[in-house]
Amino acid sequence: MSDLEVQIDGVPVVPARGWRFEIVDPARGIGRLVNGLASMPVIVEGGASDWVVTIRGRRISVTVRSWRERMLAGAETAAAARAGPVAVRATLPGLILSVAASVGDAVEDGATLLTIEAMKMQNDVRAPRSGRVIEVSVHPGQTVATGAPLIRLE
C-alpha cells in the first residue's frame, strides 16, 4: 500500500495534510475534500495509475504508481527517447491560417509551428520537443481533419 507515489507533471507531490476525500457519486466521480468544517467539491476520473482530479474548475493530471509501475514507466520513457522522427498531427479539424516553421528550422520544445483556426478560434500548434523540421505537409488556406500529419521533426 504505502509504496504508492503521487506525481504531477513528473514531480513527486506530498498529499495535503488534514484533508480527507469522500466519494458522493461514484458513477460520476463526484466527491468532496473535507478538513474539519471546511469542504470543497471535487471530481475524480481515471483508474489504475492515471487520474484526473478537478478542483476549483481546474483539471489536474495525477499519477499514482507503485514501485513496480514506476520501474516499468521508466523503461518506456527511455525507449521513447531513442525513437526516431516525430510527426506533429492536428488535434482539431480546421483551417491552416499560417505556418511559422520551414524545412530545416531548428525548433525549441514548445515553439509555435503553425496556427489552425477551428470554431472561430486560432490555435497554435507547438513543437512537442526540440528538433529539426524535416517536412511541412500543409500550407495556409488548407483545411485539415483531426489526426492529419502537419509537420515532422527529427
Binding residues for another protein, per CB under 8 A? 1, 4, 6, 8-9, 13-16, 19-21, 23, 25-31, 33, 41-51, 53-60, 62-64, 91-93, 95, 97-98, 117-124, 140-141, 146
Q: Which is nearer to another protein, 22 or 154 (CB)?
A: 22
By beta-carbon proximity to another protein, the closer residue of 2 and 79 is: 2
Which C-beta is closer to another protein: that of 84 or that of 141?
141
Q: CB of 150: closest distance to another protein in angstroms?
A: 15
Own/partner contacts of 65-68, CB < 8 Å, gap of 24 or more, are 65/4, 65/5, 65/7, 66/3, 66/4, 66/5, 67/3, 67/5
Q: Minimum distance between the CB of residue 153 and another protein, rounded to whole angstroms?
A: 21
Max CA separation in the chain (angstroms) = 60
User: Minimum distance from CB of 131 to another protein (Å)?
Assistant: 22
In whole angstroms, the minimum distance from the beta carbon of 31 to another protein comes to 7
Residue/partner pairs of 109-114 with CB below 8 Å, 24 or more apart: 113/88, 113/150, 113/151, 114/138, 114/150, 114/151
Specify the residue, 69 or 135, whose C-beta has the smaller distance to another protein: 69
500543409: which residue's cell?
A: 138
Measure the CA–CA gap between 17 and 144, rounded to whole angstroms.
48
